[in-house]
Amino acid sequence: MRFPHSLPLLTALLLIGCDPGPESPGPTPDESPRETQSIAAPDPALADSTLSAWQQGEQWLSEARTACAAMHERLDAFLAQPGEDGLVATREAWHQCHTRWHHLEPLLTLGESSPGLFGDLREVAFQVDAHPIQPGYLDGLENYPYSGIVNDITLSINAQTLREQHGLTDEADVALGLHALEFLLWDEQGDRPVSDFEPRTSAGDDPMNAERTVDQLPNNRRRALVRLISQLLQDDLALLEQHWQSTSGRLPATYRKLSPASRLPLLSDALRSLLQERLPRELAQLEEPEQAHNAFAGQSLSVVVSALAGTDQLLNAGDPAVVQWLIPEPKRTDWQTQWQTLSRNLNEADEIDPQGLSEQLRSLGQALSTPAPELAPAP
């Protein structure tokens, strides 16, 4: 699938929509992914809990934007004075930015589990976190040292060019987001030297650069490219946060228009999809290094850990907590014990068994597949 250019998408999400006003009676059957239990009068506690779940996204986006802004500052400082310590600090900040973004996974997964209502979230994720990538699309590789945008002087390095090149012919044509930055900071072997970021004033001994202007030299284009990708990431996260907080943007308006009882199966489906499909898929990719998340930066398991941390926060959002609506007693106590044990083991273990962890996640996700008519009100 080829995604539309990201800035127009985010602008449209923010501007298209209408103020949903008070709680509406909910979607018609063709608007909702499945029939939901009807209730005569919405429970105020259920309304508050399900709205808190959506608002949790605002906190995650704020934290991601703060972490990514810190990364951009580190990058600017490194490019101003390239050195090993600056590169290490920038890479560490990249990991923090990436981790904070993936706390949003429970709500981003609405794009997969309920595409009719929240399919735009898949395009947002492609803009910020597209992977796996074709690294030669961005920069030279060991066997193809003159490939990529860095070396193609027919492409100007500006915002319009990058947005046009992102997903141009294939999803792996990645020119924006966290993993474009990842490859530029680490390269294919995970050890890009500081010298790749040092400014150049002449072509040196490379005959391929003899006819280039100073601005066209690979080092200088790489410096411009990595800074611009990072800046566009800041811009896009700021716009997405603004959209998420709005009541009239398309995504928040869609969620708010749903009756509280209609939101529950959507949240349940998203969490179940995350635990039974999305995260097991990430774990399976650990066996294929080129496909693994963070293929160049390492710490590929961090996306799973971050997503589970976000899931825990989402389940505990609201008063009463959302989990009390999604998993009624007597199952809830046992489920929460299993959940806490898994989270603790995952954070403390030196090594994990991907297949075993996938089975645990699928088992936990199964409990979230309770049909809506059987959902009992929280105490």
What is the per-residue pLDDT for 346?
Answer: 84
What does pLDDT average to over the chain? 87
What is the per-residue pLDDT for 208?
Answer: 80
Check residue 166 and report its DSSP letter: T
Question: How many domains are there within the chain?
Answer: 1
Q: What is the CATH number of the domain that holds 292?
A: 1.20.1420.20
pTM of the model: 0.88
Q: Is the pLDDT score of 156 beyond 90?
A: yes
Percent of the chain surpassing pLDDT 90: 73
Expressed as residue numbers, the domain containing 203 is 43-373
Any domain includes 171: yes
Any domain includes 57: yes
Any domain includes 169: yes
Among 71-75, 134-138, 166-170, 242-246, the least confident range? 242-246
What radius of gyration, in Å, describes the C-alpha atoms of the chain?
22
Any domain includes 364: yes
Any domain includes 14: no
- DSSP SS3 for 323: helix
- Residue 364 region, left (φ>0) first, then alpha (ψ -120 to 50), else beta? alpha
Between the alpha carbon of residue 47 and those of residues 42, 51, 92, 184, 318, the distances in Å are: 7, 6, 40, 45, 10
Check residue 294 and report its DSSP letter: T
What whole-number distance in Å separates Cα of residue 19 and Cα of residue 176?
32
Any domain includes 378: no
Between the alpha carbon of residue 96 and those of residues 31, 67, 91, 219, 366, the distances in Å are: 37, 6, 9, 26, 31
Quickly list H helices, the chain.
Answer: 6-15, 44-80, 84-102, 105-108, 110-113, 115-118, 120-129, 148-151, 159-165, 178-186, 218-245, 250-257, 260-273, 279-284, 302-315, 322-326, 331-348, 354-366
Q: Is the pLDDT score of 377 beyond 70?
A: no
Tens-digit pLDDT profile for residues 326-350: 988 888 999 999 999 998 888 777 7
Any domain includes 3: no
What whole-number distance in Å separates Cα of residue 325 and Cα of residue 370?
11
Any domain includes 213: yes
Q: Is the pLDDT score of 30 beyond 50?
A: no
